[in-house]
Chain A
Amino acid sequence: MALSKPFISLSFCLTLLCLVACATVQPWERGNLAKPQMALDPYPLQSALRAHNYGSREVAAGSNAAQGGGCGCY
Chain B
Amino acid sequence: MAMPRKGAVVAAIKKLNRHYGRNDEDCFDLTGFSKSEVLAKTLSLSLHALTAAALILPGLLHQTAQAAADDDEIDFQYSHYQEGKRDQGQATRPFNDGTKDVNLKLPSYRNPIEVEGVRGSARISLTDRVKFAFNYIQDTWSGATPLATAPEHSLKVNQLGNDQNGNPIIVSRATPELTYLDSKNRPYYFNDQGTLLKDKYLHILSYASPETRKQGDFKLTYNWDQAALDIGGGISVENDYESRFANIGGRLDFNQKQTTANAGVSYTNSEINANVNFGGIELLNATRQDWASQIGLTQVINQNAILNLGIGYTRSTGYQANPYKAAVFYYKRNDPYDPSYADYIIGNKVRSEGFTVLEQRPDVRNQWNWSLRWLQYIKPLDAALHFNYSFNLDDWGINAHTFEADWVQPLGKGWTITPRIRYYSQESASFYQPTFVAGGKYDPLNYPYILDKLPNYFSSDQRLSGYGTLSGGISVSKEFAKGIRLDTGIEYYTHQGALKLGGGGEADFADFDSWVANASLKVNLSSVGHGLVHGDSAHGNQHRHPNIPAGVLFGHTLEKAGDVMAGYRYMHGWQAGHFMQGDSNVNEQQILNNSCPGSVRFDEVQQQLYFDGPCTSLPQSMSMNMHMLDLMYAPTDWLTLMLMPQFVDMQMDMYTPDSATTLGHSSHGGGGSHSGHTTQSGGIGDTGMYALVKLFDNSQHHVHITFGLSAPTGDVGIKLKGGIEDLHGPANVDGAYTHYGMQLGSGTWDLKPSLTYTGAFNDWNWGAQVAGTKRLENSNSSGYALGDIFETSLWGGYDLTHWLSTTLRVAYSWQGAIKNHYPYGRKDYVAPDCKQSDYIRADDNNGDGIPDSAAYFHQSEFSSCQIFISTYRRRIDSLDRPSPMDFPQNYGGHYVDVGFGIAATIPDGAFAGHRFAFEWLQPVYTDVNGYQLDRDGALSATWSYGF
Contacts and interface: CB of A to CB of B under 8 A. Distances in A.
Interface of A: 1, 3-4, 7-8, 11, 14-15, 18-19, 22-55, 57-71, 73-74
A48 B288 CA distance: 23
B814 interface: no
B831 to A, nearest CB: 32
Contacts of A8: 311, 370
Given A18-B307, A22-B300, A70-B213, A27 B256 contact: yes
Given A18-B299, A35-B377, A63-B290, A11 B141 contact: no
Size range of the chain B interface in the assembly: 35 or more
A38 B384 contact: yes
A43 B384 contact: no
Interface in B250-299: 255-259, 268, 270, 272, 274, 288, 290, 292, 297-299
Interface of B: 1, 20, 27-29, 32-33, 37, 40-41, 43-45, 47-48, 51-52, 55, 57-60, 62-64, 66, 75, 77, 79, 81, 113, 117, 119, 121, 137, 141, 143, 145, 208, 213, 215, 217, 234-238, 240-245, 255-259, 268, 270, 272, 274, 288, 290, 292, 297-304, 306-309, 311, 314, 316, 320, 322-324, 365, 367-370, 372-373, 375, 377, 379, 382-384, 391-394, 396, 398-400, 402, 406, 408-410, 416, 418, 424, 426, 429, 463-464, 469, 475, 477, 487, 489, 491, 493, 495, 514, 516, 518, 520, 522
B270 A65 contact: yes
B358 to A, nearest CB: 13
A70 B302 CA distance: 41
A33 B60 CA distance: 28
Chain B at the A interface: SS class: strand
15 contacts: A25-B303, A30-B303, A31-B303, A32-B379, A34-B40, A35-B40, A37-B377, A37-B410, A38-B375, A39-B48, A41-B51, A45-B121, A49-B117, A66-B314, A74-B145
A26 to B, nearest CB: 8
A69 B235 contact: yes
Contacts of B57: 62
A6 B320 CA distance: 30
Contacts of B119: 45, 49
B495 A40 contact: no
Contacts of A44: 51, 63, 66
Contacts of A69: 213, 215, 234-237, 241-245, 268, 270
A4 B368 contact: yes
A43 B418 CA distance: 10
B47 A39 contact: yes
Contacts of B41: 30-31, 34
Could you say which of B1, B62, B303 has the most chain A C-beta atoms within 10 Å of its C-beta? B303
Nearest to A34: B41
B241 A73 contact: yes
B398 to A, nearest CB: 6
A41 B58 CA distance: 12
B315 to A, nearest CB: 10
Contacts, number: 283
B384 A35 contact: yes
A34 B368 CA distance: 31
Contacts of B377: 32-33, 35, 37-38
Given A3-B393, A8-B311, A30 B300 contact: yes
Contacts of A46: 475, 487, 489, 518, 520
Contacts of B257: 27
Could you say which of A43, A53, A68 has the most chain B C-beta atoms within 10 Å of its C-beta? A68
A37 B51 CA distance: 14
A71 to B, nearest CB: 4
Contacts of A59: 394, 396, 398, 400, 426, 429, 463-464
A33 B367 contact: no
A57 to B, nearest CB: 7
Contacts of A70: 213, 215, 236, 238, 241, 243
Could you say which of A3, A11, A45 has the most chain B C-beta atoms within 10 Å of its C-beta? A45
Given A7-B370, A55-B59, A66-B314, A40 B117 contact: no
A26 B62 CA distance: 32
Contact of A57 (B429, B475, B495): B495
Contacts of B270: 65, 69, 71
A74 to B, nearest CB: 5
A50 B75 contact: no
Given A24-B258, A74-B113, A49 B77 contact: yes
Contact of B63 (A14, A33, A48, A61): A48
Contacts of B143: 74
A46 B597 CA distance: 49
Nearest to A29: B303
Contacts of B298: 40
